Amino acid sequence: MAKLVGNAVVGQSGGPTCVINQSLVGVIEAAAKCKEIKKLLGARHGVKGILAEDFIDLSKEPTANLGVVAQTPSAALGSVRMKPTRDDCLKMFEILKKRDVRYFFYIGGNDSAETANIVNEMASDANYEMRVFHIPKTIDNDLKVTDHCPGFGSAAKFVASAFMGDNLDNRSIPGIKINVVMGRHAGFLTAASMLGRKFKDDGPHLIYVPEADFDDAKFVADVKAVNAKYGRCIVAVSEGIHYSDGVTVAERMAANAEVDSHGNVQLSGSGALGDYLAAMVKKGFEGKKVRVRADTFGYLQRSFPGFYSEVDAREARLVGRDAVRYATKGDMDGSVAIKRVSNKPYKVETFVTSLVNVAKHTTGLPRKFINKEGNNITEAFRTYAEPLVGKLPEAGRLKGW
């Protein structure tokens, strides 16, 4: 089989992660070493950059600087939230073809896989040989096929550590504390809040994820029960929690606010859900004095520097490198996925799955990771997630207390 020689384009898409640049550098490193790729272009802000022909010549990046870029959070090429139309995809394909691009690597979530898939089909229809690869990235850990997603381990480490610290804070000055964690549809990141639990009374004591229906009354009762037991309560909630009818708590809150305040009060900001739940709990205590606070972790979860999971960083680099390896190996397109070969010792290998498998749907927290009551996470999740997160900071207590 004749080798396919030409230029390559790489782009980054969607919400940043702490290790997305590891994947980018993995692509750059591997591309530099293979003869099939003449020039590697980086598209600024993903598909937007391709459409605007806004490219950087990545072949010229000095190696030493790439080491620093790799460990820098957020997308070094710039990211984008745009989901291209079919017309956009056609235009992109024409641009790629014009520039003799034979390799296209797109780092992102399932939307990025879909974009890659459409471009790939257009190339195929036009009989233009091009290898299109999706490189997985998401803190949500919601991609299908792969055992887990690069980006998740580092975000999970941040969330687990944040809850460790907040649990200590809460033990020191008792009260009820609600922390809102990213995750509109998948509860993996919120589930990670349990990884720092060490002592029996450590929080989070309650964990609510989008995979289990939320109920206001049950929630308040849960909090009161924990508070009665420990004199304090820490709660983890996914931003995407919803009622049994599918309506999210955030949506109902916004609807209530509109009626109550003639639309003059801003409730769609990022701290609103936590504050809303805190108010709900306060009300539930019916005048009894209780200290209720809410924090929303926000963007820190996906871009906090210097605190990544080493396993996550290594694997993010690996999927970048392997995308180039698979693409140049033969007539193949797809999404690079991770298979967990063994859990103890932890060992993985990559494989290729077709783009459509990853593009169509996302996945959520398996039922076995959620307790029966739907208000906590099981120990089975720890077995799954601990190797991805790596070592957490150590927290100690006085023996006397």
Interface positions, 39-68, toward its own copies (CB under 8 A) = 42, 44, 56-58, 60-62, 65, 68
The two beta strands, 55-57 and 37-43, are antiparallel
Select from 231, 305, 330, 366 the one that contacts its own copies (CB under 8 A): 305
Tell me, yes or no, if 140 is annotated catalytic: yes
In the shown chain, the binding pattern of residues 321 to 350 toward its own copies, with x for contact by CB under 8 A and - for none, equals ------------------------------
User: Smallest gap, in angstroms, from Cβ of residue 72 to its own copies?
Assistant: 5
Catalytic residue among 88, 140, 166, 275: 140
Q: Which of residues 203-242 bind its own copies (CB under 8 A)?
A: none
Q: Pick between residue 46 and residue 364 the one whose CB is nearest to its own copies.
A: 46
The two beta strands, 334-343 and 346-353, are antiparallel
**Pairwise CA distance, residues 335 & 356, whole Å:** 9
Q: Pick between residue 174 and residue 374 the one whose CB is nearest to its own copies.
A: 174
Select from 35, 86, 98, 262 the one that contacts its own copies (CB under 8 A): 262
Q: 306: phi > 0 → left, psi -120 to 50 → alpha, else beta; which?
A: left
Radius of gyration in angstroms for the set of CA atoms belonging to the chain, rounded to a whole number = 23
- What is the size of the binding site for its own copies (CB under 8 A)? 78
**Pairwise CA distance, residues 73 & 307, whole Å:** 10
User: Smallest gap, in angstroms, from Cβ of residue 294 to its own copies?
Assistant: 5
In the shown chain, the binding pattern of residues 5 to 24 toward its own copies, with x for contact by CB under 8 A and - for none, equals -------x--xx--------
Among 171-179, 235-243, 313-321, 360-368, which window interacts with its own copies (CB under 8 A)?
171-179
Question: 388 in helix, strand or coil?
Answer: helix
Q: Which of residues 176-195 bind its own copies (CB under 8 A)?
A: 177
Select from 2, 87, 200, 264 the one that contacts its own copies (CB under 8 A): 264
Q: Name the residue with tokens 């750059």.
A: 28
Q: Nearest Cα to 359, choosing from 337, 386, 377, 379?
A: 337
Q: Pick between residue 71 and residue 362 the one whose CB is nearest to its own copies.
A: 71
Here the tokens at position 217 are: 């009354």
Q: Nearest Cα to 305, choosing from 21, 78, 23?
A: 21
Query: Which amino acid does the sequence have at 307?
Result: F
Q: Nearest Cα to 176, choosing from 306, 280, 52, 258?
A: 280
Q: Pick between residue 94 and residue 201 the one whose CB is nearest to its own copies.
A: 201
Which 8-state DSSP code applies to residue 185? Answer: S
Here the tokens at position 229 are: 């037991």
User: Smallest gap, in angstroms, from Cβ of residue 35 to its own copies?
Assistant: 22
Q: Pick between residue 71 and residue 363 the one whose CB is nearest to its own copies.
A: 71
Q: Which of residues 352-391 bind its own copies (CB under 8 A)?
A: none
Select from 32, 34, 168, 356 the one that contacts its own copies (CB under 8 A): 168
Going from the C-alpha of 88 to that of each of 11, 15, 119, 381, the distances in angstroms are 15, 21, 10, 40
Q: Please answer whether residues 237 and 248 qualify as being in contact, where contact means their C-beta atoms are separated by less than 8 angstroms.
A: no
Q: Which of residues 270-289 bind its own copies (CB under 8 A)?
A: 270-272, 274-276, 278-279
User: Smallest gap, in angstroms, from Cβ of residue 329 to its own copies?
Assistant: 27
303 is a contact residue toward its own copies (CB under 8 A): yes
Q: Pick between residue 307 and residue 346 the one whose CB is nearest to its own copies.
A: 307
Q: Which of residues 100-159 bind its own copies (CB under 8 A)?
A: none
User: Smallest gap, in angstroms, from Cβ of residue 187 to its own copies?
Assistant: 20
Strands (E), 120-216: 131-136, 176-181, 206-208
Q: Pick between residue 307 and residue 366 the one whose CB is nearest to its own copies.
A: 307
Burial class (CB in 10 A: 0-12, 13-18, 19+), 36: middle
Q: Which of residues 74-93 bind its own copies (CB under 8 A)?
A: 74-81
Q: Pick between residue 26 and residue 334 the one whose CB is nearest to its own copies.
A: 26
CA dihedral (84, 85, 91, 94) in degrees, to 10, reads 80
How many alpha carbons fall within 13 Å on the CB side of residue 63? Answer: 5
Q: DSSP H helical segments within 34-176, as ranges?
A: 46-51, 63-70, 86-98, 110-125, 152-172
User: Smallest gap, in angstroms, from Cβ of residue 340 to its own copies?
Assistant: 26
Query: What residues act catalytically?
Result: 140
